[in-house]
Amino acid sequence: MKILATDGIAANGKAGLEALGFEVVTEFYEPEVLAEQVQEADCLIVRSATKVRQPIIDAALKTGRLKLIIRAGVGIDNIDKDYAEAHGITVRNTPKASSNAMSELALAHLFAVSRYIGTANVEMRQGKWNKKAYTGKELCASQLGLIGFGRTARFLAEKCAALGMNVAYYDIVGEDPNVPYQYLPFDELIATADFISLHIPATADGKPVIGANELAAMKPGVRIVNCARGNLVEEKALLAALESGHVAACGLDVFLDEPTPNPELLNHPHVSVTPHIGAQTVEAQSRIGLELVD
């Protein structure tokens, strides 16, 4: 088998595949070149940089050799999954490997937005001592609302409960009676939470889950963390809510336009930002490599 890992692959994953006798190519290809290369591949492994849309799939179908596409990560919105599978190409992801790493990044952003760590760090390096400007809010005894309750959210819930937060969640599949956290309808969850963290895939129609109406329904001073997908929160509405102070702070690892996010968000003093690094830990990348081989 010939495997194209166009966005790279952890060393243990590459070694494991080669130990099975497979050829592994780890070169990144622009779309027009990928359309040629994929015709001679049995498997395509991508992360978030490579987009596997219909033209790429159509190119692969010319030879019919491609049988498997794997997203080395959780979300598969950069792959036209339904179209691929309708044409006999299986699509998989690695949902277990990075969940803990992603939950830890979300927790880091919760700390950052509760105490303005990012802004204070930058301003101190600029010689500013704005101590009184950084009055924060404690996580302990605050209400955390989780939108989506999959693996990552469950890891985060456990960590936040240990910090003394009151954890509530909403999930499209409904309540899980086997967890010690409160289930709330979506409208009630966003109206009562002091902190909100999103843990759902991108919507099929691309529309945001959190827009101007949802932001207006939240408590004044709410803090929001999004380490899931950039199109889940309407960025213009979020900026307006930050400017008015209705949203006190926001932590973002994902953006509508990656890798060139809206500079107004990047430079807003009440926004904590990271460049889509939810799975970027040594441990997570190692687990992803093993799960890819599996």
pTM: 0.90
Which residue out of 229, 235, 268, 287 is catalytically annotated? 229
Q: What pLDDT tens digit does each residue of the chain (294 aa) get?
A: 999 999 999 999 999 999 999 999 999 999 999 999 999 999 999 998 899 999 999 999 999 999 999 999 888 989 999 999 999 999 999 988 999 999 999 999 999 999 999 999 999 999 999 999 999 999 999 999 999 999 999 999 999 999 999 999 999 999 999 999 999 999 999 999 999 999 999 887 889 999 999 999 999 999 999 999 999 999 999 999 999 999 999 999 999 999 999 999 999 999 999 999 999 999 999 999 999 999
Please say if 53 is a catalytic residue: no
Which residue out of 47, 199, 276, 287 is catalytically annotated? 276
Give me the count of residues in the chain: 294
Cα separation, 101 vs 98, in Å, equals: 5
Please say if 276 is a catalytic residue: yes
Contacts of residue 61, Cβ cutoff 8 Å, sequence gap at least 6: 87
Structural element, H or E, at residue 17:
helix 11-19
Cα separation, 146 vs 154, in Å, equals: 9
> Tokens at residue 140, please?
């302990």
Which residue out of 32, 40, 138, 258 is catalytically annotated? 258
Please say if 23 is a catalytic residue: no
